[in-house]
């Protein structure tokens, strides 16, 4: 029995098909979703979604953050931004990292929520760089 995977970005529905397993980058560590998973709502960090079919990874997608809703039958990823590996670039990741670091430095050090948001952006940019460098 497969699990129904849906990946949506604000602009459009990117993917909707049954897969054997999907590994999503949840905020507290990667999460493998198989059919019959207990219902969860998780936050995503920047990282790579891996789709497993027939015992191997058939495709990977980079997400810069977002949310996922998991039920026993399906897994819905609400991504802020989705990029296929071919569109990842080191330069873009560096630019984002520099931007996030500058924003972090400029942010009010008492505003914990804003600082955390910037930290997440930095993490997301680093993950993007890693993903861009991976073969």
Partner 1 sequence: MPSLKDLRTRINSVKSTQKITSAMKMVAASKLRRAQSQAEAARPYAERMERVLVALAQSVRGSPTAPRMLVGTGADRVHLIVAVTGDRGLAGAFNSSIGRAARNLARRLEAEGKTVKIFAVGRKGRDLLRREMAEALIGDVSYAGKKRVEFSDAEEIAQRITAMLAAGEIDVATLVYNRFHSVISQIVTETQLIPVPVPEGAEQAEPPASRAMYEFEPDEETILARLLPQNLAIQIYRALLESSAGFYGAQMTAMDNATRNAGDMIKRLTLNYNRARQANITKELIEIISGAEAAV
Query: Which of the 8 DSSP states describes residue 20?
Result: S
Q: Under the criterion CB under 8 A, does residue 123 sit at the interface with partner 1?
A: no
8 forms beta bridges with 13, 78
Q: How far apart are CA 108 and CA 91, in angstroms?
A: 28
Interface pattern 42-81 for partner 1 (x via CB under 8 A): xx-----------------------x-x-x----x-x-x-
Rounded to the nearest 5 degrees, what angle is found at the Cα of 22, between the Cα atoms of 19 and 23? 170
Tell which one of 8, 23, 107, 115 touches partner 1 (CB under 8 A): 8
Kind of pairing between the strands at 56-63 and 47-53: antiparallel
Q: How far is the CB of 122 from partner 1 (least distance, A)?
A: 15
Binding footprint of partner 1 on the chain (CB under 8 A): 6, 8-13, 26-28, 38-43, 67, 69, 71, 76, 78, 80, 113, 117
């Amino acid at each position: 029995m497969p699990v129904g995977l849906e990946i949506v970005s604000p602009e459009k529905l990117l993917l909707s098909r049954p897969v054997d397993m999907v590994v999503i980058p949840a905020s507290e560590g990667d999460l493998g979703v198989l059919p019959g998973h207990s219902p969860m709502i998780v936050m995503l960090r920047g990282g790579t979604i891996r789709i497993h079919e027939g015992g191997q990874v058939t495709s990977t997608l980079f997400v810069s953050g977002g949310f996922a809703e998991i039920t026993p039958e399906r897994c819905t990823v609400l991504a802020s931004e989705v990029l296929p590996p071919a569109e990842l670039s080191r330069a873009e990741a560096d630019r984002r990292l520099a931007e996030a670091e500058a924003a972090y430095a400029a942010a009010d050090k008492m505003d914990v929520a804003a600082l955390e948001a910037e930290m997440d952006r930095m993490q997301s940019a680093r993950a993007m760089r890693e993903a861009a460098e991976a073969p």
